Amino acid sequence: MNSSNGNDPNRHDANAAALRSFAALDLDAIALLLDVDGTLIDIGPSPFEVDVPDSLKTSLERLYSLTNGALALVSGRPIRDLDKLFTPLKLPAVGGHGAEMRLAEGAAVARVEDLPQALRTRLIAAADPAAGVEFEDKGYSVALHYRKAPAHADRLRAHVSESRAAFPDEATEVLPGKMMIEIKRPGIDKGGGVRELMRHKPFHDRMPVFIGDDVTDEAAFAALPGFGGKGYSVSREFDGLSGIFSAPDDVRRALKQLATIE
């Protein structure tokens, strides 16, 4: 798995092919499962500095209707944060890399048990917003972001190791991402979230079509073959893909095209 070269002329051809393939999808037969950061929206300086275009919300609302509700966000963000980003939409969602799930608009959110407060407090102690190191306390996990401070990567990895060692009886695992380290409960990933989602109407008996961009999406891609699904990525190679978009803007264009919005 590796990222595509932005100057590679083959990248343009691959993007065009992905747009054509995506436009041919049958909205009566598919379930659209969409990662958010780096896929639907551009990566910002921090998780709290991102833009969700109104045109994207319009496309998602239209596609939600056209698929009879078989559209879900599949994100590392908590569902409460997704609702804020995509307001006024409150779409079906898998949040926290599978730690949370909402099956339909207005339905209750199911979530796993939180990590102990003492462990979360210790992990958060490594954050230094003035230096560009920020945190997300999701309850069931803690994410440390260093997009603005890449020099802190080794310090954060060491801090995470020490913090986990200080709680030997608490089962945790580390999920690496783009300039981010997340400490979460084990056995929770987007693949499990996708499998659970596909057990329920209106997703059940449809073909899942997932778009993702990061190593945190690998488990979701791995779940697709069990449902005869298709995977698309953004600027990154994964096994068994049906297409590769160049950038989130191309994904937004593909969704708008699929929604037949002029």
Task: Inform me whether the pLDDT recorded for 106 exceeds 80.
Answer: no
Task: Inform me whether the pLDDT recorded for 155 exceeds 50.
Answer: yes
SS3 assignment, position 172: coil
Comparing CA positions, the residue from 69, 75, 32, 72 lying closest to residue 50 is 75
* Each residue's pLDDT tens digit, 192-210: 999 999 999 999 999 999 9
> Mean pLDDT throughout 238-261?
94
Give me the catalytic one of 8, 26, 35, 250: 35
Task: Inform me whether the pLDDT recorded for 3 exceeds 80.
Answer: no
> Mean pLDDT throughout 48-64?
95
pLDDT of residue 100: 95
Beta strands, E only, the chain: 30-34, 71-74, 93-95, 100-102, 110-111, 134-137, 141-145, 173-177, 180-184, 207-212, 230-234, 243-245
- 85: pLDDT confidence band, cut at 50, 70 and 90? very high
Measured CA to CA, the distance from residue 20 to residue 254 in angstroms comes to 9
pLDDT of residue 59: 97
Q: Is the CB of residue 215 less than 8 Å from the CB of residue 176?
A: yes
Task: Inform me whether the pLDDT recorded for 50 exceeds 80.
Answer: yes
* Each residue's pLDDT tens digit, 176-188: 888 999 999 888 9
Residue length of the chain: 262
pLDDT of residue 12: 85
pLDDT of residue 70: 97
Structural domains in the chain, sorted by start: 9-111+188-258 (3.40.50.1000), 117-184 (3.40.109.30)
- 7: pLDDT confidence band, cut at 50, 70 and 90? low
- 107: pLDDT confidence band, cut at 50, 70 and 90? confident
* Each residue's pLDDT tens digit, 11-34: 889 999 999 999 999 999 999 999
10 vs 255, residue with greater confidence? 255
* Each residue's pLDDT tens digit, 113-139: 999 999 999 999 999 999 999 999 999
82: tokens are 């997704």
Q: CA end-to-end span of the chain, whole Å?
A: 35
Q: Indicate the average pLDDT of the chain.
A: 92
pTM for the whole thing? 0.85
- 1: pLDDT confidence band, cut at 50, 70 and 90? very low
Task: Inform me whether the pLDDT recorded for 97 exceeds 50.
Answer: yes
pLDDT of residue 11: 82
- Residue 35 appears among annotated catalytic residues: yes
Alpha helix locations (H) across 93-217? 117-124, 153-165, 190-197
Q: Residue 109, class by beta-carbon neighbours within 10 Å (0-12 exposed, 13-18 middle, 19+ buried)?
A: middle
Strand partners, 143: 136, 182
Task: Inform me whether the pLDDT recorded for 93 exceeds 90.
Answer: yes
Measured CA to CA, the distance from residue 37 to residue 257 in angstroms comes to 20
